[in-house]
Structure 1
Amino acid sequence: MTRIFLIGYMGVGKTTAGRELAKSLNLEFVDLDHFIQTRYNKTISQLFEQFGEEGFREIENKILKEVADFEDVVISTGGGAPCFYDNMETMNAAGTTVYMKASPELLSERLDLCKEKRPLIKDKNKEELLLFIKENLSRREPHYSQAKIIFEADELVNREDVDKYVLLIIDKINNTQIL
């Protein structure tokens, strides 16, 4: 039975790498945010609007505990998921956690290209976005760093990089002998 949780800041590539990682290991793939949206038939933004952040985080915690019981799966979490309730403890107890770590500058570059889709950052200019990411990362780092594996993802840029990084993630997982 294998459970791999990919954590890290929004825009780092958890979903993209997670899909490929699952395919390479012949596992199922679950994007936690997508799973929540399907379950509640609402977007994450709509859930935030309806329940506020606290209500959304309760939903996220409940669904995370549900998917943490799935077998033979790679789970990509939302960027904030590891930072609330006992979510990191839940993930670490259930399987292998991999923190996909990237610099604020790289994350800012990536997120600036798709910020309209992300309510927390859609109205920020480049300077505000970089500052926002730096502040959030400093608050989240203590949670993220509890992952069993920390994986530097600064060079994860294109399709070839994804394939290469998936092999590196598999190698790191195998070398830690957690699976």
Structure 2
Amino acid sequence: MNMRVFLWGFMGSGKTFLGKALANALQIPFYDLDAEIEAATGKTIATLFAEKGESCFRALETDTLHTFQYKPTFILACGGGTPCHADNASWMKQQGITVWLNPPVEVLVRRLLPEKQHRPLLAQVPDAQLETVIREKLAQRTLYYSQAHLIIQEEHIDIPAFKNQLLLMARSYTASNPHP
């Protein structure tokens, strides 16, 4: 059975960590959209933002995302803004199963504080304002994220249970969308 899973969520929500664990449990390929962009361009996401700006980065991100229409089975950790631009949320929903990882804001702050210098949208944010900025950005993105087929709000996710849930969803999705 083919399975295409797109993981959405804010920075620090666990998309890459969970994606790797799920891919391993399901024995299917895992990809990280940011890593795919970095490999294709030879530049870091932070460098692309600095050199080209967010709008050029988002166009490149969408182009890279659309290359996944040719892959039959995968788990893809999307960038935090991926579903919010260029009608990407709708496109991904047509291509496979979309999952919004939505842990509490306090968890995001705890995870992002030590690594915010590597996050272009947070690098200049003072530590004391990080929670406020995360809440504001989440408020802007919730409209898109909430369109996901599945929303998971837990900080710690039971991988075997989540695997089984995805398998059931994939069977249902494949039956209703035989030619994504």
Within the candidate set 148, 173, 177, 1:178 is matched to 173
- What is the distance in 2 between the residues matched to 1:121 and 1:110? 13
Indicate whether 1:165 and 2:166 are aligned.
Answer: no
Structure 2: gaps spanning 5 or more residues: 175-180
Deviation at 1:119, TM superposition (A): 2.5
RMSD between aligned residues = 1.4
- What is the distance in 1 between the residues matched to 2:165 and 2:22? 12
- Structure 1 residue identity aligned to 2:163: I
Q: How does 1:1-179 map to 2 (within 5 A)?
A: 1-154=2-155, 156=156, 165-176=158-169, 177-178=172-173
- What is the distance in 2 between the residues matched to 1:93 and 1:48? 28
SS in 1 for 2:148: coil
- What is the distance in 2 between the residues matched to 1:141 and 1:166? 24
Deviation at 1:69, TM superposition (A): 2.6
- What is the distance in 1 between the residues matched to 2:127 and 2:106? 10
Deviation at 1:175, TM superposition (A): 4.3
1:138-161: CA deviations, max 9, x gaps?
A: 00001001100111132x2xxxxx
Partners of 1:151 and 1:169 within 8 A in 2: no
Q: Segments of 4+ in structure 1 off by > 6 A?
A: none
Deviation at 1:20, TM superposition (A): 0.9
Q: Quick one: structure 1 residues 152 and 175, their matched pair in 2 at CA, closer, same or farther if it must change by over 3 Å?
A: farther
Give the TM-score of the pair, scaled to structure 1: 0.90
Partners of 1:102 and 1:153 within 8 A in 2: yes
Deviation at 1:135, TM superposition (A): 0.1
Structure 1: gaps spanning 5 or more residues: 157-163
Deviation at 1:60, TM superposition (A): 0.4
1:45-99: CA deviations, max 9, x gaps?
A: 1111222100000000111011233111100001010100110111100000011
Partners of 1:149 and 1:173 within 8 A in 2: no
Question: What is the number of residues matched between the two proteins?
Answer: 171
Q: Quick one: structure 1 residues 68 and 132, their matched pair in 2 at CA, closer, same or farther if it must change by over 3 Å?
A: farther
- What is the distance in 2 between the residues matched to 1:85 and 1:65? 11
Partners of 1:12 and 1:153 within 8 A in 2: no
Partners of 1:30 and 1:73 within 8 A in 2: yes
Give the TM-score of the pair, scaled to structure 2: 0.89
User: How many percent identity over aligned positions?
Assistant: 34
SS in 2 for 1:114: helix
